[in-house]
Chain A
Amino acid sequence: METQHFSYDNKIVKFFAYATILWGVVGMLVGLLAALQLAFPIFNFNLAYTSFGRIRPIHTNAVIFAFVGNGIFTAVYYSLQRLLKARMFNDRLSWIHFWGWQAIIVSAAVTFVLGITTSKEYAELEWPIDIAITIIWVVFGWNMFGTILRRRADHLYVAIWFYIATFVTVAVLHIGNSISLPYSWIQSYPVYAGVQDALVQWWYGHNAVAFFLTTPYLGLMYYFLPKAANRPVYSYRLSIIHFWALVFLYIWAGPHHLLYTSLPDWAQSLGVVFSIMLLAPSWGGMFNGLLTLRGAWDKVRDSATLKFMVVAVTCYGMSTFEGPMMSLKWVNSLTHYTDWTIAHVHIGAMGWNGFLTFGMLYYLFPKMWNTKLYSEKLANAHFWVGTLGMIFYALPLYWGAIVQTLMWKEFTPDGLLAYPNFLETVTQILPMYHVRVLGGLLYFSGLFLMVYNLLKTAASGKCIDNEEASAPAIVTDTKRSNSEGLHRWLERKPVQFMILATVAILIGGAFEIIPTYLIKSNIPTIESVKPYTPLELQGRDIYIREGCNTCHSQMVRPFRSETERYGEYSKAGESVYDHPHLWGSKRTGPDLAREGVPGGKMYKTNVWHFNHMLDPQKMNAQSIMPKYPWLIKDVLDTSSTPAKIRAMTTLGVPYAEGYDLIANDDLKKQAEEIAADLKKSGIEVASDKEILAVIAYLQRLGRDISVQK
């Protein structure tokens, strides 16, 4: 067998590692700002660009796609080359991938600040950026597969199985969820509406957690944990079973984000049971990781890298236990819309993703710079500060969530809501929001210890940009011998492996999404539900632009405590024209689905809305809602109206033919009516301001269904 000489590309790994660190700092800093805003609304700075509704998606996207994203690529580019004994397929592709991804991140930050968003959680980017993501993702996959096909190792190690599953599934999810109809060079409406949009969105959203935050990081763990501990992986058989079970089952679990909504019951139930079945496959990964450390726990005591990894894997076990529990409907009826979810995802993000990334970086820097870690002590300090930060972050939120959800549900002996004013339940848990800021600050300061430590480490050595290596050429023997297990055979057949993985992840989504289109009774039609007027449509787009859905749901669940507070529970047929749906996932403020029902429990006058948007604290001193003074100053852009109406018509919203041409006349008339009504209460506002569109939209919410009665 001929020995071949080649080199590993460490330079690209170095760049991805630096990007991981940079975006980690940025993403967590923005997170800290978001936490401050919820505790002290003054940190919204009364500016459009910095209000919570725009800041929150910047934080989530930066942490998920910039910090963890670059973390994934660091891990893949480092481990893939070594596991396959091959340099990355093509250096140019590597660099297109690197710079393309960073450019996407920057464009994401800019568009979010400007309020350009689709409103769909973790998929807020608009269509031109979505296309760029698709291209760069394909470049990544091409580069990875090229490397796999040119490998010098016969078999693919379990880490690579996870990388392959990540690549195909993220591609399917991203494209599936982002299909939309542009109405301008920047913006678009999703082709899905209402129930289907919600279902597709959470099929995506849940599996973004699964295949962006989980599977690639399991791959990372399978490489870096045994490496750092210098121990064999506990069980190859467990790897096989938990891998296939995980990728097959995960995709079905999306509907657990929509329990007690107007999603059909059968889809909700599938979400519940598949989430429960995910428990063991998820824990399989945790135990394979922890049991790999058998006999190496003395090393854990001495090594910060291993400490980070052990806590990361433990946090993974905690989140993947909590997830299935939160998917039980009665638990979900308590935790959904509360800060429980926020605490839950932060155990995952800070513990699993954050700590695993930190562990990897502490391992990688000394290796690549051919030196020793500058200070093991500082790394240990980082570990303890980070752990403490997580505890101070999560515990107050868990506690606050329980307090708030019980307040929402409490009735007096007279049969009235004990806390009819939503704000009371927010004020009650505000101290928890303050402690949460402290937790975030601790976690963030740990990050700085790492930045300093790693820079010092790098300075003390020299990065080997091209690391020499040699390996025998692959023996190409395609026949499966009798003694070779089926899976063992599959491990040296990357194309077949990928096809099988793709089939496994397509089944669940197809089974859940397609029937909602085919079975009419899933979304019963409600005659009185009509399309939005042009002014309401524009107002809705402003609602999306300002990220109102970040804090306000539009989905009244069928509970006495909700119908007493908000009004009738939401029906599937109500949102058939909602491209996109705006059901929301968190109630920092009250639900708005019944906001416009005349005489309803939530109804407010035009003048109330006007004053409240201008200065919520003037209406309720303790409100934590940002002020929106620019809505009153800025003129509504009506030039987009015809294109928006046309796009909606194409998507099946029944506007009359040619309505796009006269839509602005109706818009003007409705705006003038609202302005006249405001004038009666002594408020002078020109009828071309954005606020009128927002008021028109809010007054429409829930109105259609109240007409029906």
Chain B
Amino acid sequence: MEKKDKFLEENEHLISDHDYDGIRELNNPMPTWWRYLFYITIVFAAVYMFRYHVFGDDLQIAEYNKEMALAEANKPKTAFDENALVLMTASADLDNGKAIYDKNCIACHGSLGEGNAIGPNLTDKYWLNGGSLKDVYQIIKVGKPMKGMLAWQNQLSPEQMLQVASYIMGLQGTNPPNAKEAQGELVE
């Protein structure tokens, strides 16, 4: 852009009768790019409204249903037979189980499984919902929401649930301090 003399330019554009407490106004045209920006946004608006409300492109609920269908289709099919659970004994699995326990279970079952005001003791032989590996796995999976036990199937994978269940089975007979009184049925 050629450089114009500042004062010359002003004199060309100064509007003669505009003087407000000494503030003068120039009569510069609106910047071209500014006008085009405005036009483009107006076109965008028209296209947007037509696209969604005349031509019927997906609105939010249709969008959501597609998202869910896609997730369902992509669900990994883990060959994990929940009817034939085998206690995990590898230390890597048990370490994972402990990590999951420490992160999610301590608040209600205590750091050593001793139980507290909310959740039962997990180290004794008394169980409220059965004491087999399958029982423990099942209660972790679906929970007992009205009693406060959360369902973890939406947060932990089947493998993770088996890891933590195996870890919990390993707490049997550890006799931690401050253990909560026995609740439920004796399972030998």
* Residues of A that sit less than 8 Å from B by CB: 79, 82-83, 85, 153, 155, 157, 223, 226-227, 232-239, 241, 245, 260, 265-266, 268-270, 272-274, 276-277, 279-281, 283-284, 287, 291, 294-295, 329, 411-417, 420-421, 558-560, 563-564, 569, 598-601, 603-605, 607-608, 611, 619-620, 681-683
Please give the distance in Å from B132's CB to the nearest CB on chain A.
23
Residues of B within 8 A of A153 (CB): 20
Residues of B within 8 A of A239 (CB): 25
Please give the distance in Å from B154's CB to the nearest CB on chain A.
6
Is B177 interfacial (CB-CB < 8 Å)? no
| B26 and A234 contact, CB distance less than 8 A | yes
| A558 and B117 contact, CB distance less than 8 A | no
Given contacts A232-B23, A260-B60, A414-B76, 16 further A-B contacts (CB under 8 A): A233-B24, A236-B15, A266-B53, A273-B48, A280-B41, A284-B34, A294-B6, A329-B60, A415-B71, A421-B155, A559-B67, A560-B71, A599-B145, A603-B145, A607-B117, A681-B117
Is B59 interfacial (CB-CB < 8 Å)? yes
| A232 and B34 contact, CB distance less than 8 A | no
Also in contact, A560 and B68, with CB within 8 A (given A277-B45, A280-B38, A600-B145) = yes
**Whole-angstrom CA separation of A681 from B103 in the bound complex:** 24
**Whole-angstrom CA separation of A662 from B71 in the bound complex:** 50
Chain B residues 21-64 with CB under 8 Å of chain A are: 21-31, 34, 37-38, 41-42, 44-45, 48-49, 52-53, 59-61, 63-64
**Whole-angstrom CA separation of A114 from B144 in the bound complex:** 40
Residues of A within 8 A of B145 (CB): 598-600, 603
| A620 and B107 contact, CB distance less than 8 A | yes
Also in contact, A682 and B37, with CB within 8 A (given A83-B20, A601-B154) = no
**Whole-angstrom CA separation of A599 from B63 in the bound complex:** 27
| B25 and A611 contact, CB distance less than 8 A | no
Residues of A within 8 A of B14 (CB): 232
Q: Contact partner of B148 among A237, A283, A605, CB < 8 A?
A: A605
Also in contact, A276 and B23, with CB within 8 A (given A237-B30, A421-B104) = no
Is B83 interfacial (CB-CB < 8 Å)? no
Is B74 interfacial (CB-CB < 8 Å)? yes
**Closest residue of chain B to A600, judged by CB?**
B145
| B157 and A412 contact, CB distance less than 8 A | yes
Also in contact, A417 and B155, with CB within 8 A (given A233-B23, A607-B117) = yes
15 A-B Cβ contacts within 8 A? A155-B18, A233-B26, A237-B29, A269-B52, A273-B49, A276-B41, A276-B45, A277-B38, A416-B156, A599-B146, A603-B145, A603-B150, A605-B118, A607-B118, A620-B107
Please give the distance in Å from A219's CB to the nearest CB on chain B.
12
Chain B residues 1-25 with CB under 8 Å of chain A are: 6, 10, 14-15, 18, 20-25
Is B151 interfacial (CB-CB < 8 Å)? yes
**Whole-angstrom CA separation of A598 from B117 in the bound complex:** 21
| B157 and A287 contact, CB distance less than 8 A | no
Please give the distance in Å from A588's CB to the nearest CB on chain B.
20
**Whole-angstrom CA separation of A284 from B34 in the bound complex:** 7
| B27 and A235 contact, CB distance less than 8 A | yes
**Whole-angstrom CA separation of A106 from B85 in the bound complex:** 67
Q: Contact partner of B30 among A235, A268, A414, CB < 8 A?
A: A235
**Closest residue of chain B to A601, judged by CB?**
B154
Q: Contact partner of A559 among B37, B42, B64, CB < 8 A?
A: B64
**In which size bucket is the chain B interface?**
35 or more
**Whole-angstrom CA separation of A619 from B28 in the bound complex:** 65
**Whole-angstrom CA separation of A202 from B94 in the bound complex:** 52
**Whole-angstrom CA separation of A603 from B48 in the bound complex:** 40
**Closest residue of chain A to B150, judged by CB?**
A603
Q: Contact partner of B41 among A279, A560, A601, CB < 8 A?
A: A279
Please give the distance in Å from A660's CB to the nearest CB on chain B.
32
Residues of A within 8 A of B28 (CB): 234-235, 237-238, 291
Please give the distance in Å from A183's CB to the nearest CB on chain B.
35
Residues of B within 8 A of A600 (CB): 145
Q: Contact partner of A157 among B20, B45, B156, CB < 8 A?
A: B20
Q: Contact partner of B74 among A237, A280, A415, A563, CB < 8 A?
A: A415
| A232 and B117 contact, CB distance less than 8 A | no
Is B78 interfacial (CB-CB < 8 Å)? yes
Q: Contact partner of B155 among A416, A558, A608, A683, CB < 8 A?
A: A416
Residues of B within 8 A of A280 (CB): 34, 37-38, 41
| A226 and B23 contact, CB distance less than 8 A | yes
Please give the distance in Å from A469's CB to the nearest CB on chain B.
10
Residues of A within 8 A of B29 (CB): 235, 237
Residues of A within 8 A of B68 (CB): 560, 563
**Whole-angstrom CA separation of A281 from B38 in the bound complex:** 8
Also in contact, A233 and B25, with CB within 8 A (given A277-B45, A608-B118) = yes
| A682 and B23 contact, CB distance less than 8 A | no
**Whole-angstrom CA separation of A417 from B52 in the bound complex:** 30
Q: Which of A276, A295, A558 has the largest number of chain B CB atoms within 10 A?
A: A558
**Whole-angstrom CA separation of A620 from B22 in the bound complex:** 64
Please give the distance in Å from B149's CB to the nearest CB on chain A.
9
Please give the distance in Å from A709's CB to the nearest CB on chain B.
15
**Whole-angstrom CA separation of A227 from B6 in the bound complex:** 18
